[in-house]
Copies of this chain bind each other. A is one copy, B any other.
């Protein structure tokens, strides 16, 4: 029942809208309505719409990094299982719709693009590391990791008319690759 809002309330609200109504719905008007506040209030917390998007993206980037670390720190998790966990993460529709939105923003906002690029690089590093542990040479590992991560990005982007892979197919694919 706090009538005053913090920056976190705004990013929370933005994530709500993103999940419920998609990218197109995230405007200042719609968001203010969602938070029960007038438009001008937004500009006390953020310089502009881009700053809000950047803040949302940074939260997603932090989440990504946390997930990567949790996969890596479970040392008993063999590298194949780590790859599997990362891949299956993509299949979760809830987080995928957020990710799609961020990648769409990245196209028109450099700040967002920078944050997304950061997260992609982190994922790439993890995948490459896992492949090296599996006995691939560093060159091979780099090329294959690129293929896998680009595929993940392409899949996350989701506007493809292609069949979405099932869990079984992901396993089959990893079998072919490693």
> Which residues of A are in contact with B by a Cβ distance under 8 Å?
23-24, 100, 103-104, 106-108, 113, 116-118, 120-121, 124, 139-140, 143-144, 146-157, 159-163, 165, 169, 172-173, 176
Query: Is A117 in contact with B160, judged by CB distance below 8 angstroms?
Result: yes
> What is the chain B residue whose CB lies nearest that of A24?
B108
Q: Which of B23, B147, B160 contacts A173 (CB 8 A)?
A: B147
Output the least CB separation between A166 and chain B (Å). Answer: 10
Query: Is B159 in contact with A116, judged by CB distance below 8 angstroms?
Result: yes
Query: Is A143 in contact with B173, judged by CB distance below 8 angstroms?
Result: yes
Query: Is B144 in contact with A162, judged by CB distance below 8 angstroms?
Result: no
Query: Is A159 in contact with B124, judged by CB distance below 8 angstroms?
Result: no
Query: Is A118 in contact with B161, judged by CB distance below 8 angstroms?
Result: yes
A147 to B169, CA, bound (A): 11
Query: Is B23 in contact with A108, judged by CB distance below 8 angstroms?
Result: yes
